[in-house]
Every structure is written in C-alpha cells, then in structure tokens.
Amino acid sequence: MFRAGRPPRLSGAMWRSFLRLRHAGRRFLNPPRGALTASVGPGPNPLTPARAYAPPTERKRFYQNVSITQGEGGFEINLDHRKLKTPQAKLFTVPSEALAIAVATEWDSQQDTIKFYTMHLTTLCNTSLDNPTQRNKDQLIRAAVKFLDTDTIW
C-alpha cells in the first residue's frame, strides 16, 4: 500500500527497469565523445559525428622580428627571414600597406605563445586568400546581400 509521505516500494524487477530507464536517459542527455548525434533540419544523412570542444591551438613564438616587404602581388609579412604563409601554404600577400602593417602588428604583439584566436585580421586575410568554400566573386556578393535585411546597423 502507498502511504502519504512515503515512496512506494518497488519490486526487484521494477527497480531494475527504473535503473535501465534512468541510465538510458543519462546516455541520451550526455552522449559520449565521438558518438553520432542527430542533426536538426532536413538532409539526407540525419546522423553526423559529434565534435568535442577543442581549445584553440597555441604554438611557441618562433620568430624575433616582424617586417613588411613589397612583392609582386602586394605586401608580404616576414617573420625573421621566413615569409608568412596561409594555412593552405599560399604566400600571404595583402594589397595595401596599411593592412600589412595591421597584420604585422598582430604578429608582433604575440608574447611567448602564438594565440591565433587573437589575430582577427590575419584570420580574415587567410580566409580571403585561401577561399575555403571555393566561391567566385558573384557568389560571395549574393551571400553577403542575402543578410542585409537582417543587419541591425544597416
């Protein structure tokens, strides 16, 4: 019998069922790393690999001096005697001296370790030079114009 103020007594079979449900819920709420999780929205493959959070990488500073030189394609950044390259190993060149100075300042302001997440102009230039989405100029303009209606400053 159930009495007020006391939980009901569970039989052994009911207790095991309760524990199974409890553990199943925990697995659902906290999927293990590397497990497959369902993605939200339409798509042919509803399961995508879950990504565990990885902090941004940091490297030791390997250079002493940062300088700028003017090359054929624009202005280049030099770290000691090495020319700066993009993540896809293209030569890092920018069209204006002001942008080259700003990027060089970002690299020169790094202390003992290089924190890439603090170098916003370098990241933006790398994305522009490497073009990871392989879009042409018209596609990039259409993608930017699509968001003008939602821009709060515009």
State the SS3 of the chain: CCCCCCCCCCCHHHHHHHHHHHHHHHHHHCCCCCCEEECCCCCCCCEEECCCCCCCCEEECCCCCEEEEECCCCEEEEECCEECECCCCCECEECCHHHHHHHHHHHHCCCCEEEHHHCHHHHHHHHHHHCCCCCCHHHHHHHHHCCHHHCCCC
Domain-wise residue ranges, the chain: 58-140
Question: pLDDT band at 144, cuts 50/70/90?
Answer: confident
Q: Which CATH number fits domain 58-140: 3.30.2180.10, 2.40.50.140, 3.40.50.800, 3.20.20.70?
A: 3.30.2180.10
| Per-residue model confidence as pLDDT tens digits over 4-40 | 555 556 566 665 666 666 555 554 455 555 555 554 5
Q: What pLDDT, on a 0 to 100 scale, did the predictor assign at position 102?
A: 97
Cα dihedral 58, 112, 67, 117 sign: positive
Residue 103 has pLDDT above 50, yes or no: yes
> pTM of the predicted model, to two decimals?
0.57
> Counting every residue, how long is the chain?
154
Q: What pLDDT, on a 0 to 100 scale, did the predictor assign at position 137?
A: 86
| Per-residue model confidence as pLDDT tens digits over 38-81 | 545 555 555 555 555 555 567 899 999 999 999 888 999 999 98
Q: Please answer whether residues 120 and 102 qualify as being in contact, where contact means their C-beta atoms are separated by less than 8 angstroms.
A: no
Q: What pLDDT, on a 0 to 100 scale, did the predictor assign at position 48?
A: 53
